[in-house]
Amino acid sequence: MSATDPDSAFTFLSQGALVQEFKVAGHNIVQSFPEARFYKTHNDVYLGETIGRTTNRIKGAKLENLNGRSYKLAVNDGQNPNSLHGGLRGWGKQDFEGPKSVKRNGKDGIQFRYLSRDGEEGYPGTVECFVWYTAGMEDDKSVLQIEYQVGLVGDECGETVVGVTNHSYFQVNPGAPTTEGTVVTLGTNKYLELDSYQIPTGQIATFPKVPPAGTSFTLSATEPAIDDCFVMDTDAPTSCPLDTRTLSLHTIATISHPGTGLHLEIQSTEPAFQFYTADGLYIPEAETDKGIKIHSRGKRSGIAIEPTRYVDCFGREEWRGMCKLGKGELWGSRSVYRAWKD
């Protein structure tokens, strides 16, 4: 899918409805593989994937008091006893139907569809997920819009849990070993305070490693190290609808690099976002069918910025409305990515 010219183009794959290329002035600003097969063999770190059926961590890998019972999920969060990003084979590891060319909100786009069956990765109920990508050029900027929609379509139960986001790793200094020198501006410095297992305590606090909202800071080769959920809407437990697509977009983050002149701005209707400086990232080396070697990539070689609901929102009664999906309801969200070169 092209944004009118080959130097500003997008490529998507059916596996995970993932983003393989996001090109700006000829530069791909997402970490990726040149061949689709590597996403099945070398992608434990979720490069470009659509994350689901839930995002981020679920405490103790359990869903308590859902449909009047408990559900056990896969434990896959390193040393922590949590379930992460939908389980061992979340939606990013599944093959979606598509791409299908569609018109979406008056624009040319593509559609991916995935039917997640009752019991997949331990989650109850059959749900249908749609992912829509629309891309184009606006004011000399490459613009990608991602829209998600999920409905409970099976009759196995009356409610389930849902959360969807994109897990691209952005690098606005393509080819560099780390994101050192990247200038970051976040839309908030409020975050979900975490316990020792990276589960929210329920408190929203000021993050000590970043300046106030709208104030820029620069990443070094090692600092700051961040893997936290930042809160745009502190009233989300009472104000956030299950489907946020009708809400206004707000700017959650911008990143740029003075050495390349590349910029990325991310806006979303979601009440929070995970910001990860990828200090645990490792992408193993590979070799293409033509014998071309792809070098390994290590920690801090990209930045993940994931629009989302609160972490483990089903685990807290007062947060459940953000992720509990019932029959006849829709879960939805919308995010816009704008990139350009000086």
Active-site positions? 167
Q: Which residue has the tokens 């979340």?
A: 90
Q: Is the dihedral of CA 54, 78, 173, 285 positive or negative?
A: negative
H runs (alpha helix) in the chain: 38-41, 236-239
Using CA atoms, how far residue 334 sits from 36, 62, 116, 270, 306, in Å, is: 26, 28, 21, 7, 12
Rounded CA Rg of the chain: 19
Beta bridge partners of 57: 84
Query: What is the rounded distance in angstroms from the CA atom of residue 216 to the CA atom of residue 100?
Result: 39
How far is residue 243's CA from residue 80's CA, in Å, rounded to a whole number? 30
Task: Report the candidate in 291, 282, 279 with the shortest Cα–Cα distance to residue 42.
Answer: 282
